[in-house]
Structure 1
């Protein structure tokens, strides 16, 4: 009877609907004000270097997130296949995050260091050459295109505005030294972004061609760091299983 009364009274129905929506909105919004307390600090997690960040940009551009998630769920079958479940702090510098809800291909949260640079290059150019049953398309143009990074400083400044601690002055640089160590702090200084990008590309030689810096260099650099920043042996060691 009460249900019928509400449905036949338009004004009352609108008021009650707004109340329910407001409660639902508060439940979703209020926790965001405590996000700093929710995301725990984890040793090892750092922002992406300039080269890794450009690789991530290309990863997003090519739509890799449509088939590959980057979030290992806290279930036994997930950890047996991919390794330790994902920690919130691992995505704290991702804008946007790459968790995903669909897996046509395997989760990539722990792919860093699992395969050689050469394997990644071959896989990206012709996936079936290393995984015969793969249905992944090839991305051969990554090895042909020179990496565009003239705007890397602007990209880092934009990310800095949403909370990524790239430094622009001595005070911020010293704060990063204390937080991440001197070597990492140098890589996160915006004024030296292009120099750092070039140095990492030459040092890593990710695409196998030291004479130039390609989009393949950036993509492989990004893939090779995924899941490598945290020492998971200190987190629930008994449940950690190597990615295989």
Structure 2
């Protein structure tokens, strides 16, 4: 009986079109309906800070090189995930990610909380030749990043574009984008204080690639990796609160 109905629908153009519309409508409803309650489902994170221009540039490089194809940035609620990588990912942690880079494949480990786990030198060594620190790694080398100057002329426009999609960059941040990128990677420069003033005391100012005389793509990528999981403490606070709640397992 189902087979006869299916064949009948296929031979009736109007009926088949209506069936397609109905199926697509159900799928669309399932995807769209949750958006009406998004303000109720996204957690509050008053301490959430923005990506600096240098970190945003690093994110663009991460995306350009396809790093998301092998590394996810979403820790599941599964026990194995939490025990290996830390608190599971919250929606608010991707609040300013356009596009999101959650990923779904783990040829390499999840990077959602990689920030601060290793030193800048470790990241540089790993990117120069992954097998120097992880002998079994099949990740390609990214030596060229260390010798590729970082183009900063359009950083202001990049921040302005992010503001158009809801990231609250101020006029001051946009106007000083190129200087802030340089200041974050050169601790002894006149610009380093400005980036901390605009983006907060938790902003890491460092010669990320080990060379303070030149701004490179390696600086940007390492700066981005070092901030992953550190834009807000919301996940750690939620974990601590759940552990203290009555009836929770200690």
Q: TM-score range by the shorter chain?
A: 0.7 to 0.9
Moved more, 30-39 or 139-148: 30-39
CA drift at 1:3: 6.1
Check if 1:197 corresponds to 2:199: no
Query: TM-score, structure 1 length as denominator?
Result: 0.84
* Correspondence 1:148-187 to 2 at 5 A: 148-168=151-171
Moved more, 3-12 or 57-66: 3-12
Residue pair 2:207, 2:219 contacting (<8 A) in 1 also: yes
1:8 counterpart residue number:
8
Q: Matches of 2:149 and 2:174 in 1, distance apart?
A: 21
Q: Matches of 1:6 and 1:114 in 2, distance apart?
A: 56
Residue pair 1:206, 1:220 contacting (<8 A) in 2 also: yes
* Structure 1 residue runs without a partner (length 5+): 169-185, 240-244
Q: 1:102 to 1:5 in 2, by over 3 A?
A: closer
Check if 1:64 corresponds to 2:67: yes
One of 40, 50, 54 as aligned partner of 1:51: 54
* Structure 2 residue runs without a partner (length 5+): 188-205, 244-250
Query: TM-score, structure 2 length as denominator?
Result: 0.82
CA drift at 1:193: 1.1
Check if 1:116 corresponds to 2:115: no
Residue pair 1:6, 1:12 contacting (<8 A) in 2 also: no
2:248 counterpart residue number:
none
One of 191, 204, 210 as aligned partner of 1:208: 210
2:34 counterpart residue number:
31
Once the two structures are superposed, residues 85-128 of structure 1 have per-residue CA deviations (whole angstroms, 9 ceiling, x without a partner) of: 00000011111111001010000001000111111111000111
Q: Which has the higher contact order (CA 8 A, sep 6+)?
A: 1
Once the two structures are superposed, residues 196-218 of structure 1 have per-residue CA deviations (whole angstroms, 9 ceiling, x without a partner) of: 11111112110111111111111
Structural RMSD (CA): 1.8
